[in-house]
Structures are given as C-alpha cells and as structure tokens.
Amino acid sequence: MIEIENVRKSFGSLEVLKGIDLTVPRGEVLTVIGGSGSGKSTLLTCINGLEPINAGRILVDGTEVHAKTTNLNRLRQKIGIVFQQWNAFPHLTVKENVMLAPRKVLRQSKAEAEEMAVRQLTHVGLGDKLDVYPGRLSGGQQQRMAIARALAMTPDYMLFDEVTSALDPQLVGEVLDTLRLLASEGMTMICVTHEMKFAREVSDRVAFFHKGVMAEIAPPADLFDNPKDPELQRFLAATH
C-alpha cells in the first residue's frame, strides 16, 4: 500500500502540496482530479521519489520513499509511471524499446526481456506492432507502448499522469480501455485525469485537489453527485 502522511512540498517559496494525507491500499483505483497547478503531478513525482519533499513521509509497502537509506532504484521498479508523453527511442523497434529497462535495470537475458515485451505489448493490444518503429505508431498506440514499457518491469503500482491529454479525441478511448483492463485485473493505480466519465466508471475513490490541498475524497458516486467542497462544486460545474 501507499501511505502519504502530512506531505508538504515546495518549489522555492511556492508551497504546492500543503499537508497531504492519503492511503491507497493494494488493489485500489484512485483517480485524482483538479485544476491546473493544483499539485496533482507533483504528488505522483513525490510518490516515486523523483522529487524530494519538505515535510511528512511517503511509505510504499512500508518503505519510506525519501529516507536516505532507501534504494530508490529498487523502489521505482515497484512503481510504474506513465506521463502525457514519452519519447521512445526512434531507432529501436517497439519491442526493443520495451525490452530496454528489463535488460538494463533488471539485467534480464535477451530472451527473458523479449518474452516479457511481447507479452505486455500483446496485453495492451500492440501484438501486431512489435517490429515497427515508434514513429509509425499513432498517439494512442504510443501511449499504450509506454504503458507496456512500464508493465514490463512488473510493477505493483501504476501512476498515470494525464496519459490521454495530448491525444486527439478519437484516440482517447483505446488508451482508457487499456487502463480499464489493468483496473479490472486488480492493479493498484493512481490516475490523474480530466476524463470525468472514466473517473466515475473505473475509480474506487476520486480525490479532488485544489491549490495543494486534497479538498475532497470519496467514492465516485458521492463525489460527482453530491460534492461537498464549494471549489469542487465549481470545478464540476465548469467541466460539465
């Protein structure tokens, strides 16, 4: 599980996380919504130790992410992260791109890494694109490749940061379908998203961030149909 305890994070004099408390148990699908600049991306980068924090602590399966003694590389193998865009290596095929981290970080044999890459690419619906170059893929296919690449490390947690935001509208559905598939398989996921319909369908809980504060967290039916926080009410009115 992921335990976030009174986490504060500043960039210079700007405090962007103002005391976040949140526990994400194994198997939960949590979506995070909120306006631009509310601290959603920062939360994800703090969870996998890409960013230091100023106060509080984050535990992943009991290991404190920001403790000096923590092996961050080992911890990050447990936590896959997918961003809006990932620049694949253009001179490597889709399969070779997915094999890279298991080869380098997990020191898998070529055969092992290849088997895993084929399995994960097939899983996200790219079994027919193994040997093409990334430049040949649509935006939606590229995002699914990025998801397969994260899955090839066999993570226990997946963090998704607006993975459909850069896509043409007609390509959003195929990526959301991949996220739905992972959710149905029991993957523990934190998804930052603007897709409210998706959030409502797939989430166990939805968290609303506003100006560095988690202003509300609730199951989707409660949060969307009976929002209590005035800022959340405003946010939902503006997005519908």
* Residue 125 partner contact from ligand ADP, Mg ion, none using kind-dependent CB cut-offs of 5 to 8 Å: none
x/- map, 89-128, Mg ion, by CB under 5 A: ----------------------------------------
CB of 124 or CB of 163, closer to ligand ADP: 163
Q: Which residues pair with 10 in a beta bridge?
A: 15
Q: How many residues bind Mg ion (CB under 5 A)?
A: 2
CB of 34 or CB of 80, closer to ligand ADP: 34
* Residue 155 partner contact from Mg ion, ligand ADP, none using kind-dependent CB cut-offs of 5 to 8 Å: none
Residue 24 C-beta: closest distance to ligand ADP, Å? 18
Do 203 and 224 contact (CB within 8 A), yes or no?
A: no
Please enumerate in sequence order all residues whose Cβ is within 8 A of that of 91, keeping only pairs 6 or more positions apart, or say none. Answer: 133
Q: Which residues pair with 29 in a beta bridge?
A: 189
CB of 83 or CB of 157, closer to ligand ADP: 83
Per DSSP, 108 falls in state -
CB of 108 or CB of 209, closer to ligand ADP: 209
Which spans of this chain sit near ligand ADP (rule: CB under 6 A)? 11, 16, 34, 36-42
Residue 219 C-beta: closest distance to ligand ADP, Å? 22
CB of 11 or CB of 89, closer to ligand ADP: 11
Do 21 and 28 contact (CB within 8 A), yes or no?
A: no
C-alpha to C-alpha distance for 88 and 223, rounded to whole angstroms: 37
Touching Mg ion, residues 25-44 (CB under 5 A)? 40-41
Residue 115 C-beta: closest distance to ligand ADP, Å? 36
Q: In Å, what is the CA distance from 129 to each residue of 58, 124, 134, 148?
A: 38, 11, 9, 12
> To which H or E segment does residue 94 belong?
helix 94-104
Residue 49 C-beta: closest distance to ligand ADP, Å? 15
Per DSSP, 182 falls in state H
Residue 82 C-beta: closest distance to Mg ion, Å? 13
3-class secondary-structure state, position 147? helix
C-alpha to C-alpha distance for 78 and 58, rounded to whole angstroms: 14
Residues of this chain that interact with Mg ion (CB under 5 A) are 40-41
